[in-house]
Every structure is written in structure tokens, then in C-alpha cells.
Structure 1
Amino acid sequence: MPDTQPPAYRRPAPATQPAYDSPAYGSTHLRHPKAPLLRMPHTLSEVTGPRMSQGAYPAEADMTRLPNGRVVMGERIIIGGRVLDEDGRPVPGAMLEVWQANAAGRYNHPRDTHDVPLDPDFTGRARVFADAEGRYSLTTIRPGAYPWRNHHNAWRPVHVHFSLFGAGFAQRLITQMYFPGDPLLALDPVFQATPDAAARDRLVAKFDLGLTVPEHALGYRFDIVLRGAAATPFEDAGHDDEGH
């Protein structure tokens, strides 16, 4: 009789995930755990709910067009890829929530007072679901870089935030997607907080002509591996880098 048990969980390889306390990333000093972490056993409710279904959480896959027909300002792009486990198997039904700055580098958030234009039509939020093959796709605009005061003349590279949910809130992971060729990557403490260069490269999307739609938008592929030695580097699920 064939073995139907799932493979044993493989922890990420050393240096492929960012540390809770990264000296060059200033705010981690204030919020990283100061005591050993406690493992809390999950009950049935944490493991199985709430179900992240499109019925309860409608998909919003296009950030560039509004219900009134207006189109937001900026370079339109398509981001797509697959959500996979450590053995390359698709993770169907995973809910991906996305948020980002606008084309000028400003979030649609009261705490963002960056002195650049705020596009009132651009919410900077999207929600998509992986299909049976783990594939997802969304349309947005390329965000801008912005200053963040971590150190003198500090600027965040162009990036998009991703939050992934499995079967419930206890299965949430957060990461960031960057763009190829960005000169700020070498200077960014958030990106550089992952020590392993190959792991950092998994945070950088790849230009994909297959995802590009003629006369409409350039396409970028960003595959997400949830765990194992080839896992995408993830943040602490309790926050993002700007505290939004």
C-alpha cells in the first residue's frame, strides 16, 4: 500500500530567513522578542478557521481601475506567480492580500505624510486567491521609492507587501516583493536583513514576457515557497516595516 503520509517538515536553511533583531534595521531593536518564545498548542479553531474563501472575502485583483471607470496614475504592471510548498506542490485556495505605496511613493494611510502627491483614487490594496494549481495574478501600478528615516538619507526600494493566509489566522505569513535592477537593494537594511544572497534573490520578482500583455502592462513573476530550505524569506507576521 503506498505511503500517503505527508513529508516531514523541513526547516529553512540557516541564514535564509531574517533575524528578529537586525542591527542595521533600527526598529527591530524595540520590537524583537527579549525572552524565549513560547510554543502555544493550536486548538481546532486556530487550525481550521476562519475559512478564507472568496465568499467571505471577495477578490479584488485590479488596483488600477475603479468602479466609476476612472484609472489611477502610474505605470500599470501585472504580478503573477504560484504559491508552492517545500516540495513544489501547489497550495490551492491560499488567500493573498497585497498593499503598496502609489507611483509617487506614498501610502494611502493617515500616518504617511510624505511630501509627494497622494492619488485619492489609488487604495493600494488588493486580494487574490490561488487557483487549483497555486497560480495567482493581480494588476497594479509600479510603486515608487520613499524615505523612511532609518538612517541618514535612507530610502526604501520599490516593493510590494504580500500577506498569505492558509486555513486560518494561525497560518499567516508576510513578505515583500522587490523589482530587478533596483540600486537601492544593496543599501536597504530590510532587504539585507536576510543574510543568504540566494534567499534574498527569491524576494526579487523576475520580468516575464509571458505575463506581459501587449499594449497593456509589463508582467513580473513572483513565486512564493511557504517553507523548507527554498522558502521565501518572511517577516514577523505581527507587523510590516513601516508600522502601518
Structure 2
Amino acid sequence: MTYVFSPPAIASVAVAGSDARFPVRRIFCVGRNYVDHVREMGNDPKSEPPIFFTKPADAVVESGAAIAYAANTSNLHFEVELVLAIGKGGADIAEADAASHIWGYAVGVDLTRRDRQAEAKKVGAPWDVAKAFDQSAPIGAIAPAGAALTKARIHLDVNGVTKQDSDIAEMIWSVPEVVAHLSRSWALQPGDLVFTGTPSGVGPLAIGDQVQCAVEGLPPLSFSIVAR
């Protein structure tokens, strides 16, 4: 097959303990999935179905990277999240079958242009500018799934100071519920990543900040924020 220009490289994420890479097809994200964060943002927990939005596959950034402070914002926020790596596709997946579709788990950060998100919310506009920008999805190495993750500490530090500290057991929508709900609107495929929401404590980042975060039992993630 001949292309009019060379196709871009496939985005991928490191796999813990292996030289293999996890190819990324799409990135789905869940909004408002921890009770404390929902209240922090002025909303009512579980008053409505999960909110989903997406990021482009090439928004992924490896652990250890220097991430340029995003353009078109003066209020860049961190949001630490458990990430699901989908290894088996399907639509209308039952909650009881969700675990069989998960290839692995990782820790990620949903970088957010909070000022642009506030503007979008005010007029009911999509969140693309606020969420789906370059380098907006740093992610640690993916650990192949073993037992289902139902309880694990999730936390994020900026310059050695803890900003977010919770447990994935505090998610409003559990991992099986997230997979089931998501698969009702999109047919999931191998290579999809699902960011499952963030606890309270989200806040701004500045040039020079060093970020470290982890989900208990998974490879940690670290990155720095640098000038464009």
C-alpha cells in the first residue's frame, strides 16, 4: 500500500518486566468517579451515569519524561488515576465478564487545562480543549493483570509533598462497572486504555515541578514540567 506520506508511529506504553510494548488504540477517561473529588468539584456523587471523554492515543508520555507546560492555559492541573489496559475487545460487556477483557493495570495522570474546562462547562461545550491535548496522558509501565484490583492506595506527590491520597476502593463506579458502561457506547478493542477517574486534591502545576505518583502494587510514574 502506498501512502501520500509516511504514517505516524504507533503510540505505545512500556510493559513492566518486559521489552514488549503495549500498542495504544484509543484512550477513554471517566469523569467524576471518586466521591470526594465529585464533591470537590461541586457535584452530587452517583446522581447520573458515568461521564466519558477521550484523549488521542499519541497523548501518552513515558515515565521519567519532561513534559512541556501546555499551551493555551494558565491553570494546568494534575489528576492521578488507575488505568486499565484492554486486551480483549467486546461490546455490551457484562460486569461479571469485565476482568477477562483487562490485559493489565497502570498508574496515569490526566493532565487538564482547568481554565478551559471551566469555560466549557459554563456553556455546555465539549471538553476536548481541556483534556485532549498533546502530552496530556503520562502513564507508567503496564503490569499484566493478576487478581482483580479492588483495593489499593493511589497517591500523587508534587515536589515531595503529597497532594492526592486515596484508595481505588473509593471509586463510585467500580472497574467492572466502568468497563460495562463504556462498552455500551463503544466496542472496546485490544489496545484501548481506560483512565478510571481521580480522587480529591487535584491542583495546579508550575514549570519546574517534579511529580511522582503510584497505585499500590503497580510500577510508579514520575515526570517533570518544563517550559515550552
Q: What TM-score comes out, normalization by structure 2 length?
A: 0.28
| Structure whose residues are more often helix by fraction | 2
Q: Which has the larger radius of gyration?
A: 1
Structure 1 length-normalised TM: 0.27
Is the strand fraction higher in 1 or 2? 2
